[in-house]
A and B are shown apart, each in its own frame.
Chain A
Amino acid sequence: MEEELMAEKRPIISTGGRGPAPAGKRRSLPMAARYAINALLVLLVLVVGELMIDGGAITRYQTSVLQQVGVYIIMAVSLNVATGYLGQLPLGHAGFMSVGAYGCAIFIMRLTETLGMTGRDIVAGGPLVGLIVFAGVVFGGLCAAVAGVIIGIPALRLKGDYLAIITLAFAEIIRVVMLNIDDVLGFELTRGAAGLTGIPSYSNFLNVFLAVAVVCFLVHTMMKSRHGRAILAIRDNEIAAEATGVNTTYYKTLAFVVSAFFAGVAGGLYAGCVGVLQPANFGFMQSIEILVMVVLGGMGSMLGSVLSATVLTILPEALRAFSDYRMIAYAVVLILVMIFRPQGLLGSYDFSLSRVIERVMNRDFPWSKRAASDGKAGEEVSADV
């Protein structure tokens, strides 16, 4: 029964949002144009955002909220790889985040100390700082990926509920290790309960959102590749996937490790936003909050993850006055969504600007009936064949 965790009453699955190719002369955008449009948009957002921050149109408070939004977007997108695409339910995502956060923070702190840089030098920026931060975040990601391999290989032998439990167990172990590792090592590494303090604030709007764009891009391309389809195949039916020659162990571990890597990246950026890390901040609740983001947005929908991470991070800020009721509201929404829309708010729908442009090019508007039904079929494809 374990393998049927997600199998019963499978929600509609999108394998990429493409339907049967419409007959004949449908005009489409060339690949290069798609890249260019999206890259331009990202650049526009980054530049406009940065200008607004410099000009004071976005206040410091709003910037710090935005940075959190970025971190949680990466967390949700990365968990979505394991939950939405691979179809497993890891309950220890915060564990990877903490490994990445500690790895990145310690790396950057030690390196800048060796180079004799102060916190102000780092905040001031520059190419060298950019390089160090990049290296630190990647290092954090790699630490998390290593943890992912260590956890993934035994955990992925199990299925469904058992995998959920074992990842929960591993995350708790990571937390206990972070608390007590210094006693074992005999020197200060994580500084236990006192917390790793004095982390320079190396995260800013620019590098966080650059990371968001890069992570989204990488996850997206991976999922559109051969490897991504292998992962989706495992989710839809592991036995069938294995029968058709997919190396299930390899691809499950791959998805798991990729998920851990990006969680580590998010952790690294988180450390730079907060400036202090304590193991207690990466408990079970943190893992659940990220899971809630993925589930609410729609498992398997990157847009869903991004949107719900954004909303769920900003909403509590907007509702500061009602913070007492915030968690209750979370819980109620989670239950209601599961009862009335188990596939999440967006299901597995993903938005594509290029597709919209193509529709315009083809005069294929939702309000023109024939075309609409044609296009609709392209949006969502049921995997239950």
Chain B
Amino acid sequence: MDGVALIVSQVLNGLQLGSIYALVALGYTMVYGIILLLNFAHGDIIMAGAYILWIVLAQLGLNPVVAMLLSVAGCTLLGVVIDKVAYAPLRNAPRLSVLITAIGVSYFLENGAQLIFGADAKVVPSFAPVSSIQVGGLSLSFVALITVLVTAISTVVLTFLVQKTKLGKAMRAVSEDMGAARLMGVNVNNTITFTFAVGSALAGIGAILYVMAYPQATPTMGMMLGTKAFVAAVLGGIGSIPGAVVGAMLVGFSEVFVSAIGLSVWRDAVVFLLLIIVLIVRPTGIFGRTMSEKV
């Protein structure tokens, strides 16, 4: 393998990893943007999505398209249920309480999955049509290309949704000022539920792409994925859609770069150090809005 090919495939590795992080980070960012909640359970929704894929593909043996649809639907439903059961009763509670509840939900999902499915990884049968495609003598991973493409499309659709539609306007209004939005006739609760649904659907798509690339489902898979995506969202400036994507790419590329130069053991440390440095220099992240203190 020559130098160019090596660089191209490492860049593709970075893009692929960054894209998956981006899909997860978008979910974090949307939920944070609207109710200022770090939804710790978000990574675990992906885990649930992966298990749905496993059940449908490996246990029931259904068509991959059905499996994908069910996975996205299942994730969306789970996101909404979590919001209704665990977060909705705490709308007016101190934010610390909601944050701890989120940690509790995450714990619950992980341990629930462990109880039901066991601790060992479940293998999801491969459902990518081809494994690699040849472009001008380069062998590029098909899954990687699909991942990048799907993430790009999702980001554009999401941006359109938030910026151009009525629901998007309601979401922005609620995130700006919940009380004022309510006075203006926005159904705050429905808007929040919708936000959870969209974020979780993205997690469902993330689960599909993740499982395509790494065909395993484990109870704790969401934890590190979630943490990294979460770092990405914070890096980019939590609450900002382009921020989440940029942050995710930054995390994905720095991970691949650190691994490529043979320092993979320090990779997590590098990612977290990056986060710390960015937060110290720009306390609200790269694209984050600076907020003044209210007295």
Interface residues, chain A, with chain B CB atoms under 8 Å away: 1-11, 89, 154, 157-158, 160-162, 164-166, 168-170, 172-173, 176-177, 179-180, 239, 284, 288, 291, 295, 299, 324-325, 327-328, 330-332, 334-335, 338-339, 342
Contacts and interface: CB of A to CB of B under 8 A. Distances in A.
Interface string B23-47: 0000000000000101000000000
B95 A173 contact: no
B293 A160 contact: no
Interface of B: 36, 38, 86, 89-90, 92-101, 103-105, 107-108, 110-112, 114-115, 223, 227, 230-231, 234, 238, 265-266, 268-269, 272-273, 275-276, 279-280, 283-284, 291, 293-295
Contact of A331 (B107, B269, B284): B107
A331 B101 CA distance: 9
B38 A164 contact: yes
Contacts of B279: 158, 162, 165-166
Closest 10 CB pairs of A and B: A334-B104, A331-B108, A169-B272, A331-B107, A327-B111, A176-B269, A342-B97, A335-B104, A338-B101, A338-B97
Contacts of B273: 169, 173
A8 B93 contact: yes
A1 B275 contact: no
Contacts of B104: 331-332, 334-335, 338
Interface-centre pick from B99, B112, B115 (highest chain A CB count, 10 A): B99
Nearest to B38: A161
A266 B33 CA distance: 38
A274 to B, nearest CB: 22
Nearest to A327: B111
12 contacts: A3-B294, A4-B95, A6-B96, A154-B276, A161-B238, A169-B275, A170-B272, A172-B269, A173-B273, A328-B108, A334-B103, A338-B93
A377 B95 CA distance: 28
Contacts of A295: 100
The binding surface of chain B is classed by DSSP as helix
Contact of A328 (B86, B115, B291): B115
Contacts of B275: 165-166, 169
A304 to B, nearest CB: 14
A239 B293 CA distance: 9
A298 to B, nearest CB: 12
Contacts of A160: 95
Nearest to B223: A284
Contact of B100 (A1, A172, A325, A338): A338
B105 A169 contact: no
Contact of A327 (B92, B107, B269): B107
B94 A177 contact: no
A41 to B, nearest CB: 33
A342 B283 contact: no
Contacts of A177: 269
A159 B226 CA distance: 21
B283 A158 contact: yes
A309 to B, nearest CB: 17
Given A162-B283, A339-B101, 5 more contacts: A5-B99, A165-B231, A328-B111, A334-B100, A339-B89
A166 B105 CA distance: 21
Contacts of A89: 96, 99
B105 A325 contact: no
Contacts of A335: 86, 101, 104-105, 108
Nearest to B291: A1
Contacts of B276: 154, 166, 169-170, 173
Given A162-B234, A328-B108, A3 B96 contact: no
A338 B93 CA distance: 9
B71 to A, nearest CB: 23
Given A3-B293, A172-B269, A339-B101, A154 B283 contact: no
Interface-centre pick from B89, B268, B276 (highest chain A CB count, 10 A): B276
A161 B108 CA distance: 21
Nearest to A328: B111
B178 to A, nearest CB: 11
Contact of A5 (B96, B103, B230, B234): B96
Contact of B94 (A9, A176, A330): A9
A176 B266 contact: yes
Contacts of B95: 4-6, 8, 160-161
Given A170-B276, A173-B272, A331-B108, A165 B94 contact: no
Nearest to B285: A162
Contact of A172 (B36, B99, B272): B272
A338 B85 CA distance: 12
Contact of B268 (A2, A154, A172, A328): A172
B107 A338 contact: no
Interface-centre pick from B93, B97, B98 (highest chain A CB count, 10 A): B97
Given A169-B276, A176-B269, A161 B99 contact: yes
